[in-house]
């Protein structure tokens, strides 16, 4: 995928608007494509859930995620608005060579504490337990757990990840993860640290994880935690 498709979720930053608008990221969805114009839902502020007054001529930066987790960016302009039925904005689509693709070979890794279920099917070590992530990316995650779960490098475990968003809705993703590092607890009574890479994951679920990482990064950036 290169050009966005109907039903695609997108993010917009309005570069030429008021200072208040420039400070926020807006989310929208493409409801139709006509020639070189995308009809999009009225963008809503990701912090407040409110929309803004966006008219023809508004310049914006647009980005979205592909099915493989790659990020696509392009510059655009709002070229019109329609209010009957469902209110929509007309977004100018760029030429394909004007879209910048960032292929997620090295996925953005974000510190994040998420609920994750871990299952290991082994003749002796039949584990199924809940844990909390330490960090996560589209390529894998780290979590902590009690040392009684004797996980080893090379183990393949099934993981189910729970990812709440700002609205309170929860998305889930599942994967098979190979343990690549096990760090024992520093003191008795503390948890061990497990890190692994995804070896089986659907592109749809990987895209969910990557999107959650970007949203978390934006949240931290607004708080001044990351550059």
Mean pLDDT of the chain: 85
Residue 171's H or E segment, with its range, is strand 170-183
183-220, pLDDT tens digit by residue? 988 887 789 999 999 999 987 888 888 888 888 887 77
Give me the mean pLDDT over the 56-74 stretch. Answer: 82
What pLDDT, on the 0 to 100 scale, is given for residue 172? 93
CATH architecture of 110-222: Beta Barrel (2.40)
**If DSSP states are collapsed to H, E and C, what string results for 106-169?**
CCCCEECCCEEEEEECCCCCCEEEEEEEEEEECCEEEEEECCCCCCCCCCEEEEEEEEECCCCC
Model pTM above 0.85: no
Could you confirm whether domain 9-102 is CATH 1.20.1420.30?
A: no
Question: CATH 2.30.110.10 occupies which residues in the chain?
Answer: 9-102
The confidence band for 88, taking pLDDT boundaries of 50, 70 and 90, is very high
Read off the pLDDT of residues 89-115 as tens digits, 9 standing for 90 and up. Answer: 999 999 888 898 876 556 778 888 999
The CATH 2.40.10.220 portion of the chain extends over 110-222
């Amino acid at each position: 995928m290169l050009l966005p498709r109907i039903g695609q979720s997108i993010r917009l930053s309005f570069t030429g608007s008021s200072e208040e608008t420039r400070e926020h990221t807006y989310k929208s969805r493409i409801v139709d494509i006509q020639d070189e114009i995308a009809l999009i839902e009225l963008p809503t502020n990701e912090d407040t859930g409110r929309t803004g007054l966006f008219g023809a001529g508004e310049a914006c930066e647009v980005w979205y995620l592909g099915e493989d987790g790659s990020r696509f960016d392009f510059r655009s302009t709002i070229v019109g608005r329609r209010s009957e039925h469902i209110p929509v904005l007309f977004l100018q689509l760029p030429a394909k060579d004007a879209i910048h693709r960032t292929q997620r070979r090295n996925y953005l890794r974000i510190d994040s504490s998420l609920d994750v279920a871990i299952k290991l099917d082994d003749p002796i070590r039949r584990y199924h337990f809940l844990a909390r992530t330490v960090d996560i990316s589209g390529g894998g995650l780290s979590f902590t757990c009690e040392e009684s779960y004797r996980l080893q490098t090379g183990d393949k475990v099934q993981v189910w990840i729970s990812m709440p968003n700002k609205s309170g809705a929860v998305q889930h993703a599942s994967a098979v993860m190979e343990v690549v590092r096990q760090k024992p607890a520093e003191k008795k009574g503390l948890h061990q640290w497990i890190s692994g890479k995804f070896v089986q994951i659907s592109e749809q679920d990987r895209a969910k994880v990557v999107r959650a990482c970007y949203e978390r990064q934006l949240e931290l950036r607004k708080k001044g935690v990351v550059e």
